[in-house]
Amino acid sequence: MTAHVEKKVKLSTIEKPMTKAELVGYLADRLEMRKVDIVAVLDELADVIHHHLGKKGPGMFTLHNLLKIEVVKKAAVKAKEGVNPFTKEAMIIPAKPASKKVKIKALKHLKDLVAQQ
The residue type of 101 is K
Residues of the chain short of pLDDT 70, as ranges, are: 1-11
- Report domain extents, the chain: 8-58, 59-117
Residues 6+ apart with CB under 8 A from 41: none
The pLDDT value recorded for residue 29 is 94
Q: How far apart are CA 90 and CA 84, in angstroms?
A: 6
pTM of the model: 0.73
Q: What is the pLDDT of residue 41?
A: 96
Decide: 53 and 102 in contact? Cβ < 8 Å.
Answer: yes
CATH 3.90.230.10 fits 59-117, yes or no: no
Nearest to 54 by CA among 63, 46, 44, 64: 46
| pLDDT value for 39 | 96
